[in-house]
Amino acid sequence: MDIKDKNILIIGLGVVGGSYAMALSGAGYKNVYAVNRSESSVKKALEMGIIKGGSTNAEDFAGSADIAVIAVYPTGAEECARNLGRLMKKGSLVTDVLGIKRYYSQKISAVLPDYIDYVPAHPMAGREKRGLDYASADVLKGANFIITPIDRSSSEGIEAVRQLAKDMGFGKIRTLTPDEHDRVIAYTSQLPHALAVSLINSDEEDSNTGDFIGDSFRDLTRIAEINADLWQELFIGNRENLLAAIDMFTAQLSSIRAAVEDMDKESLVKQFEKSSARRQSLIKK
Amino acid sequence: MDIKDKNILIIGLGVVGGSYAMALSGAGYKNVYAVNRSESSVKKALEMGIIKGGSTNAEDFAGSADIAVIAVYPTGAEECARNLGRLMKKGSLVTDVLGIKRYYSQKISAVLPDYIDYVPAHPMAGREKRGLDYASADVLKGANFIITPIDRSSSEGIEAVRQLAKDMGFGKIRTLTPDEHDRVIAYTSQLPHALAVSLINSDEEDSNTGDFIGDSFRDLTRIAEINADLWQELFIGNRENLLAAIDMFTAQLSSIRAAVEDMDKESLVKQFEKSSARRQSLIKK
């Protein structure tokens, strides 16, 4: 059976789940269904024509699903997987979209029966806003997609998730172990969010800073407008890696601070030249 | 005499000086001249039609200038001002574009004779790249412009600089004392640059991070590609304010770190909600 004819069930019509529904329907997937806690998003998705059917109850669609995508908040993932495990058929496939992998992949895997395949994944796209209203197939286009297979993941399952990502328009599709993923993501995603939040919170309470900001400040604080519930889960769920990333960052900032204090021009120039070269090579890749 | 008929002399055809020349010519200023160390940029500016005349020697145009704009690197500003002071006529006006004000305004003021007016200013626009090739009138459009008058600045001079800024298309034009300016700019400009540099330099040497970055990392490190010579001058020239800003930031980051280490969800949510509210109100202003 062509993958586009399979029954795809998305659990959670938030920004990511909603964007998946749009992108898959747009790519010609004919049987995209969704389950969502609130009925209003289900209705809206039906009106938009991005799902073929939807419900607030997983029992309505999980039994016939070939592939299910867990697109709920991290702390809701285990409960969601338990339900799917109870309802889904033999040979079906579960994937997810969680931003940290080791901790939650273990939780999900533990409650899924062996006869259901499971391939964890992380689409590196999202919005600071929450909910279906901010979903868009465009945010997925060209974004990085990381598959983090675990022991039970079958090669057919991995291939199917890769195909979904490709069809949704993702750019680079890479494979990492869950541990590698979490180490890298602490640095490239959680740490930047911690910095943006710290930067904007370090302003004096009654200042009129807004009148005096340039593009750099605007860029660096964009992500300080943050989904608090989601990100506390991501921060704490990736605790050790994030602490290590913060400490590596702090060492670098201390080095700049020391150079400023000592008026050490050579040291500053060296650090700036290093950052310029690294930024160029990093973004080029 | 209408300000657009006055002789305007720009010293330094870098990104900012070049953008000034483009914006002023574009706004109908008829007599824009430039002096630049290297002849190639002078030639190029003449070919582009953004200056009426140019030279590598200030003596060729300073004597007839009504307004001179010091658009050289901070550490070259004093020498440049000394030349202008020797050459410019009574009643003429000097302004500048330096990114820190107290230290350099004192230096410049000290070498300008009393019969020349002096109004320091900071156009909050620029590029990470250097040189006339990256100049553009567009980067000035809507950007913040800060005038930092000192005791000797006349109200006519302040008004003239405000008019220049308005005609070049700047957005909010505000007045601050040099001390206020430097405190605010340490936070909104130098600190973000220190963070971006530290972030990219804290990566492991041989990592393949580039494959796994999202928009947030890209945004936060854009300014890590930095003009090393200029920014070491800005960092060290605003030393005390920058050290204070780094310390305020570090206290906030430590607070996030502690919450992650203690798995204190409530504290994280509180900090994220604060940053979200602040970002919204800051950017709206």
**pLDDT tens for each residue of A140-168:** 999 989 999 999 999 999 999 999 999 99
User: Do B163 and B36 have their domain in common?
Assistant: yes
A71 and A130 Cβ atoms separated by less than 8 Å: no
Q: What angle do CA B55, B56, B62 make, to 5 degrees?
A: 65
Contact A14, A135 (CB under 8 A): yes
Of A176, A210, A229, which one is at a domain's C-terminal end?
Answer: A176
| pLDDT recorded at residue A218 | 86
DSSP A89: P
Q: Do A7 and A142 lie in a common domain? A: yes
Q: Look at chain A and report how many structural domains it folds into.
A: 2
Claim to verify: residue B193 and residue B153 sit in the same structural domain: no
Which of A202, A235, A241, A261 would best serve as a mutation to test chain B binding (most B beta carbons within 10 A)?
Answer: A202
Tell me, yes or no, whether A29 and A103 share the same domain: yes
Chain-chain contact of A201 with B278 (C-beta, under 8 angstroms): yes
Q: Are B185 and B75 part of one and the same domain?
A: no
Cα A199 to the chain's mean position, in Å? 23
> Mean pLDDT, to the nearest integer, of A30-38?
96
Q: Confirm or reject contact between A224 and chain B (CB < 8 A).
A: yes
User: Which pair of tokens denotes residue B242?
Assistant: 């920058």
**Which one of A32-36, A139-143, B143-147 scores highest in mean pLDDT?**
A32-36
Question: Do A182 and A241 touch, CB atoms closer than 8 A?
Answer: yes
Of B275, B88, B234, whose CA–CA distance to A193 is shortest? B275
| pLDDT exceeds cutoff 60 at B285 | no
Residue B125 has pLDDT above 90, yes or no: no
* Single pTM value for the model: 0.83
Do residues A168 and A184 both lie within one domain? no
Poorest-pLDDT segment among A22-26, A71-75, A241-245, B95-99: A71-75
Partners of residue B34 on adjacent β-strands: B10, B54
Residue-wise pLDDT tens digits, A5-18 = 999 999 999 999 99
Rounded Cα gap, residues B131 and B150, in angstroms:
30
Split at pLDDT 50, 70, 90, the class of B139 is confident
pLDDT of residue A246: 98
Position B126 confidence tier, pLDDT thresholds 50, 70, 90: low
Q: Test A252 with B197 for CB contact under 8 angstroms.
A: yes
For residue B213, give how far its alpha carbon lies from the nearest alpha carbon of chain A (Å).
Answer: 6
Residue B137 has pLDDT above 90, yes or no: no
User: What percentage of chain A carries pLDDT values higher than 90?
Assistant: 80
pLDDT at B211: 74
Q: Which residues form the domain of B10? A: 3-176
- Mean pLDDT of the A78-99 span: 97
Examine the fold and report which residue of B153, B176, B199 is the final residue of a domain before the chain moves on: B176
Weakest mean pLDDT among A210-224, B192-206, B268-282: A210-224
Q: What is the mean pLDDT of chain A?
A: 93
Cα distances (Å, whole numbers) of residue B178 to A205, B96, B116, B119, B184? 21, 13, 19, 11, 10
pLDDT tens per residue, range B39-64: 999 999 999 999 999 999 999 999 99
Structure tokens at A212: 């005096």
- What gap in Å lies between CA B177 and CA B179, rounded to an integer? 5
Q: Is the pLDDT of residue B284 over 70?
A: no
pLDDT score of B206 more than 70: no
**Within this chain, do residues B115 and B230 fall inside the same structural domain, yes or no?**
no
Tens-place pLDDT, residues B3-42 = 999 999 999 999 999 999 999 999 999 999 999 999 999 9
Residue type at B167 in one-letter notation: D
Asked if residue A76 has pLDDT above 80, the reply is yes
| Residues B23/B10, Cβ–Cβ less than 8 Å | no
Q: Are residues B168 and B219 in the same domain?
A: no
- Closest-CA residue in chain A for B212? A144
Nearest to B224 among A188, A189, A279 (CB): A279
Residue A206: band (very low, low, confident or very high) from pLDDT cuts 50, 70, 90: low
- The yes-or-no verdict on residue A116 having pLDDT over 80 is yes
Report the length, in residues, of chain B: 285
State the best of A15, A181, A190, A215 to mutate against chain B, taking most chain B CBs within 10 Å. A215
* Same structural domain, B191 and B225: yes
Confidence check: pLDDT of B189 > 60 = yes
- Mean pLDDT of chain B, nearest integer: 93
Distance CA B102, CA B179 (A): 6
User: Each residue of B221-241: pLDDT tens digit?
Assistant: 989 999 899 899 999 999 999
How does residue A128 score in pLDDT terms, banded at 50, 70 and 90? low
How many percent of chain A have pLDDT more than 70?
96
The A residues from 84 to 143 touching B (CB cutoff 8 Å) are 124-126, 143
B-chain residues near A183 (CB < 8 A): none
> What HEC string does chain B produce?
CCHHHCEEEEECCCHHHHHHHHHHHHCCCCEEEEECCCHHHHHHHHHHCCCCEEECCHHHCHHHCCEEEECCCHHHHHHHHHHHHHHCCCCCEEEECCCCCHHHHHHHHHHCCCCCEEECEEECCCCCCCCHHHCCHHHHCCCCEEECCCCCCCHHHHHHHHHHHHHHCCCCEEECCHHHHHHHHHHHHHHHHHHHHHHHHCCCCCCCHHHHCCHHHHHHHHHHCCCHHHHHHHHHHCHHHHHHHHHHHHHHHHHHHHHHHCCCHHHHHHHHHHHHHHHHHHHHC
H or E segment at A214?
Answer: none
Q: What are phi and psi of B175, to 5 degrees?
A: -115, 130
> Which residues in B lie closer than 8 A to residue A214 (C-beta atoms)?
124-126, 143-144, 188-189
The pLDDT score that the predictor gives to residue B20 is 97
Beta carbons within 10 angstroms of residue B94's beta carbon: 25
* Chain A residues close to B269, C-beta within 8 Å: 228-229, 232
Picking from B155, B176, B197, the residue at the C-terminal end of a domain is B176
pLDDT at A134: 77
Same domain as A188, residue A171: no
- Measured between beta carbons, the chain B residues lying within 8 angstroms of A276 are 224-226, 228
Identify whether the C-beta of residue B223 lies closer than 8 Å to the C-beta of residue B192: yes
Chain B: closest CA distance from residue A106 (Å): 19
Share of chain B above pLDDT 90, in %: 80
* CATH code of residue B21: 3.40.50.720
A260:B243 CB<8 A: yes
B44 and B58 share a domain? Answer: yes
Predicted pLDDT of residue B210: 74
> A43-58 pLDDT, tens per residue?
999 999 999 999 999 9
Is residue B80 located within the same domain as residue B169? yes
What is the CATH classification number for the domain harbouring A218? 1.10.3660.10
Query: Among candidates B147, B128, B9, which has minimal Cα distance to B80?
Result: B9
**Spatial contact of A249 and B246, defined as CB atoms under 8 Å apart:** no
Which chain A residues have a beta carbon less than 8 Å from that of B198?
249, 252-253, 255-256
Which pLDDT does position A127 carry in this prediction?
A: 61
Average pLDDT over residues B135-139: 84
pLDDT band at B119 (very low <50, low <70, confident <90, very high): very high
